[in-house]
Amino acid sequence: MHISLRLYQGIVLVPTAYRVERDGFFVTDRPLEAVSVEQTERLRQAIQATIERGILPISRDEARVRLNSKDDPLLKATGARSWFALDKQTKGLWTLVEKNGAYEIRVDQPMRTHGWHEDETKRVRFPLGTPLDDVIEQLITMIQECARE
């Protein structure tokens, strides 16, 4: 599992993840859920729906097309003119990952020049066997706290 969430102007954007075959990196695209940060239950449902969709495999060529698209769903949903503009107005980025049955929430922070990178000091690792509902609850709490700052 690999789910990315972006907090942008009070809206949490949850795109679908695609894994590039043979390369192992992820590309995000449609379907894209967009939920007000205050709508806790709807946010929970959007995260759950994205988890249920799973990570879909795509070829390198498909990934290249998606990455170079002028119709990127995140840019379109936010109305941002560029990734630079979107990143400047993004309040937070989180990734929910499952590895060998254990969940992690990874928190990104903006880099000085542009872009984002993980702040490993904020990574939350859950013990093996932690129910997914508890992990999602913690993730939503983190996002809502960030929105209030």
Domains of the chain: 2-148 (3.40.1590.10)
Rounded Cα distance between 125 and 31, Å, is 28
Q: Name which of 39, 63, 58, 49 is nearest 15 in CA terms.
A: 49
pTM: 0.90
Is pLDDT at 70 greater than 80 in this prediction?
Answer: no
Q: 79, exposed or middle or buried, with CB in 10 Å at 0-12, 13-18, 19+?
A: exposed
**Torsion angle defined by CA atoms of residues 34, 38, 44 and 45, in that order, rounded to the nearest 10 degrees:** -50
Q: Tell me which amino acid residue 67 is.
A: L
Q: What confidence score (pLDDT) does residue 123 get? A: 97
Tokens coding 95: 């990734």
Greater confidence (28 vs 142) lies with: 142
